[in-house]
Amino acid sequence: MRALIINCSPVRDGATAEIVRIAGRELAGRYETKAVCIDDYRFAFCRGCRSCHRTAKCVMEDDVQVLMNEFAAADVILAVSPSYWADIPGQFKAFIDRCTPWCNTHKPHATIPAGKKGYAIALRTGPSMRECERIIGSIEHFYGHMEIACSGSLRLTGIEFREAVAARESEIVEFCKGI
């Protein structure tokens, strides 16, 4: 079984990346794991042409298909996202927009193999859980349209820098036990 862990932040060495590292370590005993960063991929913004609604393919050729191949190969997907102005980072949102060819709201649509489980971890700097809820909602909405079963989430507040993650490691480890 394979687990894909995606750092939804373009920051490769921040708090989100540290959570990805901990999750990868915890899942490695049960899964073949692969961690990626959204910034590892190059893709353009969706043009809104709706060509994919007729063809189930995007008119642009870039790394969206490469990342979707990782989704297709995984049995478990864990998206780890910080709050950028109370929602997922723009880079991850741009990726989601480009996944319209796989969206189950139109036919024909491309598909990834069935039976996948999706998990999410949201983190933010401040104390309010409201932003975490919004982030989880965005990720779960995406999972739903990809027909990935929403299987669990963790919300972490009060984390701005990588060093703050250490105090929350036990929560992350406990969450990963359920994956």
Question: Region 8-20: what's the mean pLDDT?
Answer: 97
What is the rounded CA–CA span in Å between residue 71 and residue 155? 23
Q: Find out whether the peptide bond into 82 is cis, omega within 30 degrees of 0.
A: no
Question: Region 146-159: what's the mean pLDDT?
Answer: 98
Virtual torsion, Cα 129, 131, 133, 136, nearest 10 deg: -130
Band (156; pLDDT cuts 50, 70, 90): very high
pLDDT, residue 130, reads 95
pLDDT, residue 141, reads 98
pLDDT, residue 134, reads 97
Strand order through the sheet with 2-7: 32-37, 2-7, 76-82, 117-123, 149-156
CA 106 to each of CA 17, 53, 61, 100, 122: distance values in angstroms, whole numbers, following the listed order: 34, 6, 21, 9, 29
Structure tokens at 66: 């490469």
pLDDT, residue 150, reads 98
Predicted confidence (pLDDT) per residue in 54-105, tens digit: 999 999 999 999 999 999 999 999 999 999 999 999 999 999 999 999 999 9
Band (162; pLDDT cuts 50, 70, 90): very high
Taking phi over 0 as left and psi of -120 to 50 as alpha, with beta for the rest, 50 belongs to left
Predicted confidence (pLDDT) per residue in 35-60, tens digit: 999 999 999 999 999 999 999 999 99
Give pTM, 2 decimals.
Answer: 0.97
The domain segmentation of the chain, as residue ranges, is 2-177
Return the CATH number of the domain spanning residue range 2-177.
3.40.50.360
pLDDT, residue 171, reads 98
pLDDT, residue 175, reads 98
Predicted confidence (pLDDT) per residue in 96-143, tens digit: 999 999 999 999 999 999 999 999 999 999 998 999 999 999 999 999
Which string of b and e fits 132-149 if b means at least 16 CB within 10 Å?
A: bebbbebbbebbeebbbe
pLDDT, residue 166, reads 98
Question: Region 3-20: what's the mean pLDDT?
Answer: 97
The set of residues, in sequence order, having a beta carbon less than 8 Å from that of 55 and lying 6+ positions away, is 101, 108
Are the CB atoms for 151 and 109 separated by under 8 Å?
Answer: no
pLDDT, residue 145, reads 97
